[in-house]
Structure 1
Amino acid sequence: TRFFLAARRADSQLTFDIDLARSQSNDNPVYYIQYAHARVCSMLRKAEEAGQPFDHSIATAHLALLDSDQEKAVLNRLARYPEVVEHAAKNREPQQVAQYLLDLAGDFHTCYNAVKVMVDDDTLRNTRLALGLATRQVLRNGLDLMGVSAPEEM
């Protein structure tokens, strides 16, 4: 409920759809964002279970490997996070954070569907996992700002 309230401008009319708020589908913006967070957590668990845990030292040295359009879209969106939060706070417009999180989740889901993460190449896999970790951190932080949980499983 908090998210739905904060996702609207203070001067706009609120129409609250209780069925949408309860819906566990991509039509529900909270579910969509939380699902992106849970999806990253699942990616990391699968890597660990496959005996290919995330290696930070490999990933950070090779970020240039994130060169697909989808990966670049996520990177560019992540880079805007501090600016969005600052602007939202200065202008008392929490809906900017809500919209940002929805956009980031959309970019991440698109990337996840287009780019295989669990590849044999250790360097590429770790670099893509790093992108997932960064996405998870921003989603978790943004959801926390909105007073919404960031589940690891759904």
Structure 2
Amino acid sequence: MGTFYTLGVAKNFSARSHQSLSRDEWINLLNDRLDIKEYTISFKDTEVNGSLKKEVFKENIEDFYKKLVAIIENDFILNWFEYAKTDMERYESSITKMEINQENIHINLEAELAILFIEGKVMVEEFNTEPKLMNWLFRHVNLSNKLAGCVMSDIVG
């Protein structure tokens, strides 16, 4: 098995901190990486869990794929959409992890991705920057699509 690049939508996530955080602190820290208003959230002192609202995925995935095709100028990724359509549970899934370090607070973020596409074998076994970069860019670019704030990438294999 090789190593592959994936792009997906975080359908579930769990964030943990070693210190107790208020609801507002969690929102401020996580919202830089995920648009948490698109998730059903449960807060605890040292943990937050979220699930993407099914209607957000269902109502936005087709438009999101169209925007991805325009960005990469290649429609090969539409094969995934043609198979699964708007049913988030039909997409393959993968677990990814990310560390967030801000304001002297360390958070471990783990997300289950609905994989939107997988791209060929990658030559390098470990990437640290690329997944964080893609996540931040999608979260902060205006694509006029709610799923842009829910995108994460990963290197799997």
Q: Return the TM-score normalized by structure 1.
A: 0.29
**Bigger helix share:** 1
**Bigger strand share:** 2
